Structure 1
Amino acid sequence: MRINLPTWLTLFRVALLPVMVLVFYLPFRGHNITAAVVFVLAAVTDWLDGYLARRLDMTSAFGAFLDPVADKLMVAVTLFLLVQSHPGGWPGIVMAVTAAIIVGREISVSALREWMAEIGMRATVKVAFIGKLKTAMQMIALVVLIVQHDANTLRLYHVGEALLVIAGVLTIWSGLHYLRAAWPALRGEPPQA
């Protein structure tokens, strides 16, 4: 198997995860900004690998498998870091519930797509605009929360929390969109022509 440039970018994104975790916890001034920069770099490679794969016609089975795995790992690891470092009380509960919704939806939709592909109906659950909007809101929220998780400066943490809750609502909405599209197959109805 020959690994092409888009797949190398995806592998690089996966390799950035332990770097982000390490930087997130290291006790040096600006570690939060550095962790956010690593996260943004990973997010940019997510966009870039897809763009290059389509533009240069460099798609591969391994890349198609690895790209969504890398995306979900990046989001899940970041959410786990933020939940663990979040203060307790109601804000902590809201953060944990929102993170559970987002991770739960990612697992569920991945399983749904895999099952739909098995029965030859993968196109039924293709990515919709609401899913892209959810991803954009989620990425912005995560960057704000990483930057602000341990900052003594401008406090935008509550903005990040609000954006993450909005992303959680969009997550439920997009998950229901996928479920609705797959519902006839889940009920065992024959595919429509």
Structure 2
Amino acid sequence: MLNLANRITLTRLAAVPVCVILLNFPNKLSCMLAMCFFLAGALTDFLDGYIARSRNMITSLGKFLDPLADKLLVISLLVMLVQLQTINGASWAPAWIVIIIIAREMAVTGLRAVAMEQGVVMAADRWGKFKTVSQIIAISLLTLHYPWFGLDPQPLGKFFLYIALVLTIISGANYFRSFFKAQRNSDGSPSQ
């Protein structure tokens, strides 16, 4: 069960507490280290999936751990960015955006569980992939927080966070549309 792909996924889970601890004591160095651990964890998402598919290492444990690790990593960092905003008054990440992103993740996870129970496969579409990339860029820049070499990462981080928000809504709506379309087709109703 703990093949190479699953062990790589576990390293992504291990990055979560490291990032949270580093961001509990925000300073220039801890934020840079948290961003590095976050990026390393995010990159393992692509690596473990590639290894699992190319070496035929897809397991039930991996199917469970992979999306769990993705969501824990992203949601933990977003929550920490909101917490940091309330601690020092600086602008890290607006809570309302984080709430929408987390709500979408929970809704899509629930929908996928229902779909799986009914034998419907809900694969990630391009909007979901764009959403993931924009979230990674936004969280990385917002976690970096402090100016580096005279450049402030916050405005660009917030720009990508708004892009991630729009893509979160679009991709979430697509999941629900695909599910209901599959439901109509399985009921024998004419598809549109």
TM-score (norm 2): 0.88
Matching residue of 1:157: 154
Q: Distance in 2 between matches of 1:65 and 1:40?
A: 21
Displacement of 1:86: 1.9
Contact 2:28 2:144 (8 Å CA) reproduced: no
Contact 2:147 2:153 (8 Å CA) reproduced: no
Matching residue of 1:108: 107
Matching residue of 1:7: 6
Q: Distance in 2 between matches of 1:171 and 1:16?
A: 23
Amino acid at match of 1:137: S
Matching residue of 2:29: 30
Is 2:192 aligned against 1:190? no
Displacement of 1:25: 2.2
Matching residue of 2:137: 140
Comparing 46-55 with 94-103, greater Cα deviation is found at 94-103
After TM superposition, list the pairs within 5 Å mapping 1:70-85 onto structure 2. 70-85=69-84
Q: Which runs of 5+ in 2 are unaligned?
A: none
Contact 1:185 1:191 (8 Å CA) reproduced: no
Q: Which runs of 5+ in 1 are unaligned?
A: none
Displacement of 1:187: 7.0
Q: Distance in 2 between matches of 1:111 and 1:161?
A: 28
2:123 to 126, 134, 138: 126
Displacement of 1:157: 0.4
Matching residue of 1:68: 67
Matching residue of 2:45: 46
Distance 1:29 1:106, change over 3 A: closer
- SS in structure 2 of the partner of residue 86 of structure 1: helix
TM-score (norm 1): 0.88
Displacement of 1:191: 5.7
Amino acid at match of 1:179: F
Give the paired residue count.
187
Distance 1:63 1:159, change over 3 A: same
Q: Distance in 1 between matches of 2:8 and 2:174?
A: 30
